Amino acid sequence: MAAKIGCPPRSTGILLDAVAVLGLASRREATYELAPLARAFLVPGGPTYLGDASNIFSGPLLWEGFGKLTEAVRADGSVMEKHAETPSNVFWETFARSSAALAFPAAAVLAEQLAPIAAAKKSLRVLDVAAGSGIYGHTQLRMPGVDVTFLDWPNVLEETRAWGARLGVDASRAHYLPGSVFEAELGGPYDVVIASHLYHHFDPKTCQTLTRRLAGALAPGGRLAVHDFVTGPALENPGATMFSLVMLVWTRHGKAYGHADYTAWMTEAGLARPSAHPMPGMPTTWLIAERT
């Protein structure tokens, strides 16, 4: 191992023992073996590799943001010059490259929920809003008859295309719409509109406007599928509650919202009350509402 990583044997042994103490490896005399969790999530190149997420959660952007937490609390929002709503922010390219392992499990849950709808129709038109890596839309493209439009900033869509090529999806059924979700001509009508990790960037009034806009792009009987950190009234989802702190330093007015908030926005926009689909082991939830 020391020869492989180009380090002295003594320091390599100290590091390996520390990794074993953390439970990421096991040691038997002088032999080390990866623990199952480490093998699944910490080996580069695998579909569930989580190491890239360090570019998001411990990258320079959040280090800068939390270094200004005091100022953000006083200002009631981010004091960063380039924040979440900065057009074509280069951070979203990093996010698209680094978040796939987090998106795959959620994409599988959504595909399971939408499978009966897809099976009942010969074709399915999908809009993936703020697509990033496009994992949600790419997963839908694995089903025959599905046509997906990916919406994001032009610089981010390059990453979306790259993920499509990497996953080997049918490029003829993938379309790309550059721009802002608030300004672009969405087209449609769509059978499904996917909005993952989008709402938490904005204030309630903007979220209401966003919901109306997305609902307006749906065909009758179409579904709006929102994926986000959904808070509970008694703080029963600690991960979602803590995520609001991230939004405090990264957005001007964003936070994580509760099920009641989404229900109000969706019903006001002409959608049915959303069904909730939490994911075990993850602090996020799919909320799916039908256009009545």
CATH of the domain at 182: 3.40.50.150
Confidence check: pLDDT of 46 > 80: no
80/168 same-domain check: yes
Cβ atoms of residues 224 and 215 within 8 Å: yes
Answer yes or no: is pLDDT of 145 > 80: yes
Do 107 and 159 lie in one domain? The reply is: yes
pLDDT band at 282 (very low <50, low <70, confident <90, very high): confident
DSSP assignment of 31-70 equals EEEE-HHHHHHSSTTSTT--GGGHHHHSSHHHHHHHHTHH
Cβ neighbours, 10 Å, residue 206: 15
Count of structural domains within the chain: 2
Mean local confidence (pLDDT), 186-214: 97
Do 105 and 22 share a structural domain?
A: no
**Residue 85: predicted pLDDT:** 85
Both structure tokens of 231: 């808070």
Examine the domain organization and report whether 39 and 72 are in the same domain: no
pLDDT for 279 = 87
Nearest-angstrom CA–CA distance, 92 and 290: 29
Same domain? 145 vs 228: yes
Q: Is residue 32 part of a domain?
A: yes
The H-assigned helical ranges of 46-182 are 54-57, 60-67, 69-75, 91-98, 100-120, 135-140, 154-167
Residue 61 falls inside a structural domain: no
The predicted model gives 5-22 an average pLDDT of: 96
Mean pLDDT value of segment 238-256: 95
48 within a domain of the structure (yes/no)? no
The answer to whether position 138 is within a domain reads yes
For residue 57, the model assigns a pLDDT of 85
Residues 138 and 254 in one domain: yes
Q: Percentage of residues in the chain with pLDDT exceeding 70? A: 100
Looking at the structure, tell me whether residues 25 and 87 fall in a common domain.
no
Q: Of 48-52, 98-102, 143-147, 175-179, where does the model show the most confidence?
A: 175-179
Q: Is residue 53 part of a domain?
A: no
- Based on the fold, state whether residues 34 and 110 are members of the same structural domain: no
Same domain for 70 and 7, yes or no, is no
Instruction: Answer for the pair 208, 237: CB distance below 8 angstroms, yes or no.
Output: no
- 224 located within any domain: yes
Average pLDDT over residues 218-222: 96
How high is the pLDDT of residue 5?
94
Token pair, residue 236, equals 């029963």
Please tell me the predicted confidence (pLDDT) of residue 223: 97
pLDDT (0 to 100) of residue 45: 81
Q: Do 35 and 86 share a domain, yes or no?
A: no
Is the domain of 89 the same as that of 33? Answer: no
Q: What is the mean pLDDT of the chain?
A: 94
Residue 246 lies inside a defined structural domain of this protein: yes
Domain of 22, in residue numbers: 1-43
Q: Based on the domain organization, do 33 and 78 belong to the same domain?
A: no
- If pLDDT is split at 50, 70 and 90, which confidence band does 60 have? confident
CA-to-CA distance for 268 and 122, rounded, in angstroms?
30
In a domain, 110, yes or no: yes
Among residues 136, 45, 16, 156, which one has the least CA distance to residue 92? 156
Residue 119 pLDDT class (50, 70, 90 cuts): confident
Average pLDDT over residues 223-250: 95
